[in-house]
Chain A
């Protein structure tokens, strides 16, 4: 690796990096400190430190239920997307490479339509009729599937392009594997990296989703973000503890994802 320049330039570079780091960290550090403070109003530093807000939070049944709801919805949506997108990508890349262009347009749709607009449409569609899903976790699972689609599709698609799918499939088939066996033994293991990245990226994104959760389901199946919104009038310390807990959880997930991907040969 090239050493950084000496003297003023190096100092400047370090300064920029540290400044950026501080800007990103400061609100978080403030929140952390606030969540640990007994009270913190008129003084520069909090008057005392305590864990009582965390204890209150983690013994609140409503919070634990909301957290559980969030996990169920996110994991459900991601399971659905893995089950649907993996075979879809395989078919697109192996049999109909021309469809990739169409898919690239389709996966932009969730970005192109603002959540507020599409949730109004979804409400109209699923409020009654043959599939009254509004207010149930099922509509969130389906909706989150569309939100996760672009992340999943792009990450796995890049991974597929990098492994030279066609030659690997051909080699596996010539040497005795059926198409299914080739996909299972040769292609799938080589997609692990892309799938793990896509899963954790989508997971942390979906866990923080608020608009769909609030408009489509609201308090009838309260998720973490909706709970946070409903608690906005309670103690700021309590809410800070909630934000830090949430952040810490995502951090741990990201760390696990990185760890899982590191031991690849």
Chain B
């Protein structure tokens, strides 16, 4: 049996259902991301696992133990919040020691374990600071240390990086992954950021309107989106309806078609198109190309300025057949 099992979970507020019939299995040591737009129920699901929100039906089992009758403090779970939620009246060391103090761990043992976990998040020298004196990135590392010190069975991360600026976010992302691997910690991570999900996760659960719509590895999710929603949420897919797709591909297509922008090659191929515009994304240039009356996004590696294609130019283009993904529904 899997380490964390969620079965038929329901949650509603009044008449509106937040999610219904959620089921998933998470293996020991796995890093799983709940990815979805805001309001899809992913944070509520996480809070249900933590015990901070009541569920209306279903079961959550951790290591064979039924979690639902337990209050949050008895679940053996660590959690990091988007707002850090550090205790302002305590120093960094006291914040981190909080869980151990509640468990009545002896003072000496407590100090040893706090020092250990502060070293793990590289904050040893800030132990005596108060939360107001920390930057956002430091605060979130303290919050991470606070949730790790009790050696939880399961770590829950609720959009921990969303309030941080881009550079800190990347750095902390790698830190979280390193620590998670070092400790072999089973982790459930919630985000609305597809890049975070793709870079961090062993597995991604894509959620939409209270349902898990796709469950798979980052590669599978990226290359084989199961639905128009998945294709629209992950990457920057060109989404075409059946009629437009048939016109572009020159063969009848029954459903909607998704084509990844980097799977279209410019410069040679059977199709011809006109450059309509471009935007520079850094290492990638995204062109808008019109071919057979269909406007497509095409991503090209930004190798040199001399290769830039100007608007109005006509180019040949080719769509890799294996990248054409026909979607059901």
Interface string of A140-183 (1 = CB under 8 A from B): 00000000000000000000000110011011111111100100
User: Which of the residues A173, A186, A265 comes within 8 Å of B130, measured between beta carbons?
Assistant: A265
The residues of B that contact A186 with a CB separation of less than 8 Å are: 87, 89
> A192–B89 Cα gap in the complex (Å)?
10
The residues of B that contact A176 with a CB separation of less than 8 Å are: 73, 98-99, 102-103, 150
Closest Cβ of chain A to B93, distance in Å, is: 13
> A190–B52 Cα gap in the complex (Å)?
22
Interfacial residues of chain B within 85-125, with CB under 8 A of chain A in the complex: 85-89, 98-99, 102-103
Assess the B98–A175 pair: CB atoms within 8 A: yes
> A186–B86 Cα gap in the complex (Å)?
10
Is A8's CB within 8 Å of the partner chain B? no
Is B254's CB within 8 Å of the partner chain A? no
User: Which of the residues B102, B132, B133 comes within 8 Å of A177, measured between beta carbons?
Assistant: B102
Closest Cβ of chain A to B297, distance in Å, is: 39
Task: Closest A residue to B52 by CB, please name it.
Answer: A170
What total of chain A residues lie within 8 Å of the partner, measured CB to CB?
A: 20
Assess the B85–A170 pair: CB atoms within 8 A: yes
Assess the A171–B85 pair: CB atoms within 8 A: yes
Is B78's CB within 8 Å of the partner chain A? yes
Is A7's CB within 8 Å of the partner chain B? no
> A158–B47 Cα gap in the complex (Å)?
27
Assess the B103–A174 pair: CB atoms within 8 A: no
Assess the A171–B150 pair: CB atoms within 8 A: no
Assess the B73–A190 pair: CB atoms within 8 A: no
Assess the A174–B72 pair: CB atoms within 8 A: yes
User: Which of the residues B51, B79, B89 comes within 8 Å of A171, measured between beta carbons?
Assistant: B79
> A265–B86 Cα gap in the complex (Å)?
14
Is A189's CB within 8 Å of the partner chain B? yes
| CB within 8 Å for A173 and B87 given contacts A167-B81, A265-B130, A265-B132 | no
Assess the B72–A190 pair: CB atoms within 8 A: no
Assess the B52–A173 pair: CB atoms within 8 A: yes
User: Which of the residues A171, A178, A189 comes within 8 Å of B81, measured between beta carbons?
Assistant: A171
Interface string of B198-237 (1 = CB under 8 A from A): 0000000000000000000000000000000000000000
> A164–B132 Cα gap in the complex (Å)?
14
Interfacial residues of chain B within 30-66, with CB under 8 A of chain A in the complex: 47, 50-52
Assess the B87–A168 pair: CB atoms within 8 A: yes
Is B139's CB within 8 Å of the partner chain A? no
Is B147's CB within 8 Å of the partner chain A? yes
Assess the A171–B87 pair: CB atoms within 8 A: yes
Is B252's CB within 8 Å of the partner chain A? no
Assess the A167–B83 pair: CB atoms within 8 A: yes
- The chain A residues found within 8 Å of chain B, CB to CB, are 163-164, 167-168, 170-178, 181, 185-186, 189-190, 192, 265
Given contacts A173-B51, A265-B89, 19 further A-B contacts (CB under 8 A): A164-B83, A167-B81, A168-B85, A170-B50, A170-B85, A171-B143, A172-B98, A173-B71, A174-B50, A174-B73, A174-B77, A174-B78, A175-B73, A175-B147, A176-B150, A185-B87, A190-B88, A265-B132, A265-B133
Q: Would you list the 10 A-B pairs with minimal beta carbon distance, nearest first?
A: A176-B102, A171-B85, A167-B85, A175-B99, A189-B89, A265-B130, A174-B79, A173-B72, A176-B73, A176-B99
What would 20 A/B residue contacts be, using CB atoms closer than 8 Å? A168-B87, A170-B52, A171-B81, A171-B146, A174-B73, A174-B75, A174-B77, A174-B78, A174-B156, A175-B73, A175-B79, A175-B99, A175-B146, A176-B98, A176-B102, A176-B103, A181-B102, A185-B87, A189-B89, A265-B130
